[in-house]
Amino acid sequence: MADQKLRIVATIKVKPESRDQNLVNAFKALVEETKKEEGNISYILHNDVKDPNTFVFVEEWRSPADIEKHMKSPHFTGFVGKLKAHLVAAPQIVTIRPLL
Amino acid sequence: MADQKLRIVATIKVKPESRDQNLVNAFKALVEETKKEEGNISYILHNDVKDPNTFVFVEEWRSPADIEKHMKSPHFTGFVGKLKAHLVAAPQIVTIRPLL
């Protein structure tokens, strides 16, 4: 079976007033739970060096099926629910396959 | 000295007619030379699973200074020169710092 590994880059822009410890704690909880998922290889949250209100996840997954499972998980769906009120725009999510 | 590691996500959209072996070879040469740079930790080229004409670099660098050095390197500036004619839009480049 060909290597099914995929990466996801997810860009999340929040309102300036939303960038507080509650939001950071919500991100932390999501990261901790996601890293426990069998199909997750890496799941790293970043800040845009030019904009502290822009967060970027760089994720690596074992297969498309593992991504689907993640997106149905309580910790992910719960996080998305909490995040909605804080968003400036819809998150930009791109799924990419390694080439070189 | 605090960890200065940075990642870059660079999204490059090319014209459909430009997506040929020459372009792939140019990407290959850039990746090979860049991986030789002392300050480069990883430099992986991807394709957007939804669009074969969208390429995404996910890069990891030891420090901002190493990124600057890279962007002045002959292999990078030469690649950028070659790429211009093939672009649909200006590349989107975001520099991000790991948080969690």
Determine the structural domain holding residue A60 and report its residue range: 6-96
Alpha carbon distance A20, A71 (integer Å) = 25
Name the residue among A9, A11, A49 with its Cβ closest to that of B95.
A49
Q: Is residue A92 part of a domain?
A: yes
Q: Is residue A1 part of a domain?
A: no
Alpha carbon distance A14, A91 (integer Å) = 9
pLDDT tens digits, one per residue of B9-61: 999 999 999 999 999 999 999 999 999 999 999 999 999 999 999 999 999 99
Q: Is it the case that residue B1 has pLDDT exceeding 90?
A: no
Answer for the pair A24, A70: CB distance below 8 angstroms, yes or no. Answer: no
Q: Is residue A13 part of a domain?
A: yes
What does the block give as tokens for A17?
A: 């007033």
Residue A15 sits in a domain whose CATH number is 3.30.70.100
Q: Is residue A28 part of a domain?
A: yes
Q: Is it the case that residue A3 has pLDDT exceeding 90?
A: no
Number of folded domains in chain A?
A: 1
Answer for the pair A29, A77: CB distance below 8 angstroms, yes or no. Answer: no
Q: Is residue A83 part of a domain?
A: yes
Mutation for B interface: A5, A60, A96, most B CBs within 10 A: A96
Q: How far is B100 from chain A (nearest CA, A)?
A: 5
- Structure-derived torsion over alpha carbons of residues B26, B30, B32, B37, reported in degrees to the nearest 10: 170
Question: Span A44-59, mean pLDDT?
Answer: 97
Question: Span B86-90, mean pLDDT?
Answer: 95
Predicted local confidence at residue B30, as pLDDT: 97
Name the residue among A49, A98, A99 with its Cβ closest to that of B97.
A49
Q: Is residue B33 part of a domain?
A: yes
Phi and psi, residue B72, nearest 5°: -100, -5
pLDDT tens digits, one per residue of A5-34: 999 999 999 999 999 999 999 999 999 999
Mutation for B interface: A40, A46, A55, most B CBs within 10 A: A46
What is the Cα gyration radius of chain B?
Answer: 14
Q: Is it the case that residue A1 has pLDDT exceeding 60?
A: no
Alpha carbon distance B76, B37 (integer Å) = 11
Q: A13, exposed or middle or buried, with CB in 10 Å at 0-12, 13-18, 19+?
A: middle
Predicted local confidence at residue B3, as pLDDT: 76
What does the block give as tokens for B90?
A: 């200006």
Q: Is residue A82 part of a domain?
A: yes
Predicted local confidence at residue A2, as pLDDT: 59
Q: Is residue B1 part of a domain?
A: no
Answer for the pair A6, A64: CB distance below 8 angstroms, yes or no. Answer: yes
B100–A47 CB contact, under 8 Å: no
Encode A65-89 in three state secondary structure.
HHHHHHHHCHHHHHHHHHHHHHECC
pLDDT tens digits, one per residue of A54-85: 999 999 999 999 999 999 999 999 999 999 99
